[in-house]
Structure formats: C-alpha cells, structure tokens
C-alpha cells in the first residue's frame, strides 16, 4: 500500500517535460486544440451560459491572487469557479475527447483547471502546461479505471477528474507527497460520484459531472495546501486498485484518448457512422427510407429514442442523430443546437426507427463501441451496414490533420479568423523554450460576442 502511494507521488510531483516521450507531448497538443474547439463552439449553449453566470455570482472571491478568468468570457471568479465554468462549458457540447476503457472523459475538466492554476502562478510556461495536461490524463484515466474496477455502480467522469485536478494543484504549487496524499483524499471524498445512467435515462444539463469534478479538485488542492487533512484515496491506495497504477510513466494513456467527430454521446457514434456510410454508398435520400433498425450494446440502447426538445437531450439520443445523419449527411454542432428539432423529415425517420441489443456489441463494451444500422427502402431493398466501430478510437486515431479540420469547423462561426489562427499556432508551439503559458490563456479569455 505504501509503495503504491509513493509511486503515485513520484509520478505526479517528479515527472518533468523531458521525461515524456515526444509523441505523447504532440498528442497533448492535439487534445488541447480539440478541447479549445469544443469550448468555443459551446459558448452559447444554455448550460454553458448558466454555469458562467453562476460562477461569477456564487463562486467569486475578494482575493485577487485566488481568482482566474473564465474561459471565453473574461470575467473573473475564484480558481474553483473558473474551473467549474470552463469544464461545464466544454462538457455542455459532447464533442470532446474521451477514454473508452473508463467510459468517460478527462480533458474537459483538466484544461480549465490547469489554465486557472496558471493564472495563479504566472511563472508557468508552455512546457509546464503540456506536462501538467499529460500528468492529468495519466492520473485521471487510471483513477477512472480503478473506480469502475472496484465498485459496482457506473459513475460520471467528475468522480475521477476531481483526483486528477487535485493532484495537479499540488504539483503546480510545488508541495510535498504528504500534501498530495491529503489533496487526493479530499477530492475522492467530496468528488461527484453521480450515477451516469440517471443522465442517460433522463437527459439534462448535468452531462458527465465534469464541472463539479474540476471544481472539487481545485478546492481539494487548496485545502490540502492550507493544511486540511483528508483520508487516503482508496482508488489509489487500496490493494484492489494496485493493478491500475503499476504502469505509470510506461503506458501513456494520453495517447489512448478517442476523438469525437460528432457532438453526441459516443455510444451512438457507431450507428451514426454506419448510417452515413449507407447513405453515401447507396445515394440515399430521406424519401427512400421505409424503416431503420439500430442495434448496439445495452447502455447505448438506453439513449433517447424520440425527437429532442433540448440540446441536452439531442446529445444523449440515438434515433435522432442517426436520422439527422441520413438527412444531412453530417451530425455537427448545428444538429444539436435546436434548429433541426422540428424537422419533419427527421421526425418521420425517428418514428420508424427500432432499437435492439447486440450480443457482440455487449461483449466488446467498454473497450470498443460497436453498432449496426439496417435500412429498408421503399423499393424493397434491405441495406445492412454490418458491425461498425465508432470512428476516432485510439486504435484507429484521428491524426493531427483531422483534429485541425475539426477545430477550424467548430470555431469558424464563433471566433475571428485572426484569433482562431493564432490559437492554433500557439497550441502547436507551446513546447518552444520560454513560451509562457499565458500566451495561450490570453487568447482563450476574451469573450465571444
């Protein structure tokens, strides 16, 4: 048990930029750009706006040294408030990176917290930011595996984002292993162990608990730095969790994140991809379609099956995004923003869609997201996609060029070209010697008008 905790602290507190393989640093840059794209595109979503307003109103501080600017807003809140608002904003558009094996996401809670900590410590440079993001992914993803491997319920990502953010808060403040141990203990104790399937069954603005996880992590770090004591984190120190921490610094989970090509719960991505392939291969129009059959793993079949009335429900749907894909040949930010929720063609397709479980899909979940779409046409054809894998898994990754394309598509409607181009340039040069972390932060804080 003690050796486990020492290995954890050595990695969190001792890992330097030079210790991380170049390909891992490069992937961290890709992931940062992807998170920025989603955060910008999510700016006008109601959940995002409400989180920012709440952070300014309730999570503020009179201590300027403990404040930070809010992502794509510019107003100040406490460090915890800024982390909460930024993480909730990114999480409000379900297009950010994920870690399939843990059935959740780390990056959306990490980046706003690291940027907030960088506001507190203006000595941090770009390499510190990159190194911190890598350490955060490595800790957060393993905490997620340990949590889901040792308890019976399926918890939102906020539960393990909290540990990763707390660890980074201690790291970036130069504290010792004992402080780190207390911080992750506090974070685990207060982290949002919310039941993810409640959100799947009843889509809302709650999403994956990432905002609360990021906020709890910041508070836990600050409490521990002030001397507040916490009980040991069982997801790190318990004997049953040991297997999840043995390969720290050897197997880099940062490079095992998936990239979302559709702003929809990843569980629906395979049927969406299957529908897009059938549409392209057979030149289908909505008028050709008589019936749609979707099969997937059990968790995916619990996604919403009717027409959405809200952005949140659209992002946790399965019938709707498949129907939208068949009509428009894409599922992007527009398809979850509301203007297509009353589309009569899509409503007709949703009404003739059936959903069923697939044994092979169940057997491969969560390591892989498989699904199948079958379309019956009015002229009697039965078009079967066969089993399709969700695009963007790390086993068949979206490379940098694809991430750049996604970034440009997402930010084009909301950021001025000069600003968007400069963000892209800075993200990919954060590793140059002497680049201050604030060079990126200053580009991300001015509001979106």
pLDDT in tens, 87-116: 999 999 999 999 999 999 999 999 999 999
For range 265-281, the mean pLDDT: 97
For 328-357, write each residue's pLDDT tens digit: 999 998 899 888 999 999 999 999 999 999
> Taking a C-beta distance cutoff of 8 angstroms, is the pair 94, 50 a contact?
no
Q: What pLDDT shows up at residue 238? A: 93
Q: Which residues contact 380 (CB under 8 A, 6 or more apart)?
A: none
What is the Cα–Cα distance from 260 to 266, expressed in whole angstroms? 7
Angstrom distances, CA of residue 11 to CA of 116, 136, 147: 22, 11, 19
Is residue 1 pLDDT above 80, yes or no? no
- Give the mean pLDDT of 12-16: 96
Question: Given pLDDT bands bounded at 50, 70 and 90, which one contains residue 3?
Answer: low
Residue 117 banded pLDDT, cuts 50, 70, 90: very high
Burial class (CB in 10 A: 0-12, 13-18, 19+), 361: buried
| pLDDT, position 449 | 73
What pLDDT, on the 0 to 100 scale, is given for residue 6? 52
Q: What pLDDT score was predicted for residue 367? A: 84
The set of residues, in sequence order, having a beta carbon less than 8 Å from that of 80 and lying 6+ positions away, is 59, 116, 215, 218, 219, 222
User: How far is 207 from 156, CA to CA, in rounded Å?
Assistant: 8
- Give the mean pLDDT of 283-310: 96
Write out pLDDT tens, residues 388-400.
999 999 988 999 9
Beta bridge partners of 383: 375
Structure tokens, 68: 């930070």
* Average pLDDT score over residue span 192-221: 93
Q: Exposed (0-12), middle (13-18) or buried (19+): which is 72, by Cβ within 10 Å?
A: buried
Band of pLDDT at residue 218, cut at 50, 70 and 90 = very high
Kindly tell me if the per-residue pLDDT of 121 is higher than 90: no
Asked if the model's pLDDT at residue 47 lies above 90, the reply is yes
Distance set, CA 261 to CA 13, 38, 119, 368 (Å): 34, 11, 31, 16
Q: Which of 79-88, 143-152, 158-167 has the lowest mean pLDDT?
A: 143-152
Query: Would you state the pLDDT for residue 4?
Result: 58
The predicted pLDDT at position 221 comes to 98
Domains of the chain: 2-260+400-444 (1.10.4100.10), 266-389 (3.30.1330.120)
Residues near 135 by beta carbon (within 8 Å), at least 6 away in sequence: 11, 12, 15, 167, 168, 171
Residue 122's pLDDT is: 82
């Amino acid at each position: 048990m003690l050796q486990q905790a020492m290995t954890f602290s050595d990695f969190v507190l001792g890992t330097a930029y030079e210790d991380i393989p170049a390909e891992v640093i490069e992937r961290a840059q890709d992931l940062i750009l992807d998170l920025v794209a989603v955060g910008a595109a999510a700016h006008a979503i109601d959940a995002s706006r409400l989180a920012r307003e709440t952070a300014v109103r309730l999570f503020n501080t009179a201590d300027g040294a403990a404040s930070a600017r809010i992502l794509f807003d510019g107003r100040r809140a406490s460090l915890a408030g800024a982390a909460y608002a930024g993480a909730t904003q990114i999480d409000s558009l379900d297009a950010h990176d994920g870690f399939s094996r843990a059935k959740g996401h780390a990056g959306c809670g990490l980046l706003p917290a690291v940027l907030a900590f960088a506001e507190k410590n203006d000595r941090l440079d770009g390499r510190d930011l990159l190194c911190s993001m890598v350490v955060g992914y490595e800790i957060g993803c393993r905490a997620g595996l340990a949590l889901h491997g040792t308890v019976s319920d399926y918890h939102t990502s906020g539960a393990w984002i909290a540990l990763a953010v707390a660890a980074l808060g201690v790291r970036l403040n130069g504290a010792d292993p004992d402080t780190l141990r207390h911080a992750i203990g506090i974070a685990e104790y207060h982290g949002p162990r919310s039941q993810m399937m409640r959100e799947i069954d009843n889509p809302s603005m709650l999403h994956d608990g990432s905002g609360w996880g990021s906020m709890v992590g910041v508070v836990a770090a600050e409490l521990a730095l002030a001397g507040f004591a916490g009980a040991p984190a069982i997801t790190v120190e318990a004997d049953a969790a040991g297997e999840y921490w043995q390969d720290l610094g050897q197997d880099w989970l940062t490079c095992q994140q998936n990239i979302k090509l559709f702003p929809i719960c990843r569980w629906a991505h395979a049927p969406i991809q299957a529908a897009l392939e059938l549409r392209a291969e057979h030149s289908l129009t909505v008028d050709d379609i008589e019936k749609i059959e979707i099969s997937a793993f059990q968790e995916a079949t619990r996604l919403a099956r009717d027409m959405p009335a809200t952005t949140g429900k659209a992002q946790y749907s399965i019938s709707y995004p498949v129907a939208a894909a068949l009509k428009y040949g894409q599922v992007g930010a527009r398809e979850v923003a509301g203007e297509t929720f009353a589309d009569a063609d899509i409503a007709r397709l949703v009404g003739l869609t059936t959903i069923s479980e697939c044994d092979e899909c169940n057997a491969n979940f969560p390591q892989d997201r498989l699904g199948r779409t079958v379309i019956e046409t009015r002229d009697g054809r039965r078009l079967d996609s066969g089993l399709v894998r969700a695009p963007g898994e790390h086993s068949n990754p979206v490379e940098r060029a694809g991430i750049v394309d996604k970034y440009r598509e997402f930010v084009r409607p909301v950021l001025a070209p000069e600003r968007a181009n400069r963000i892209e340039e800075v993200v990919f040069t954060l590793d140059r010697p002497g680049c201050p972390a604030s060079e990126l932060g200053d580009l991300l804080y001015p509001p979106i008008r």
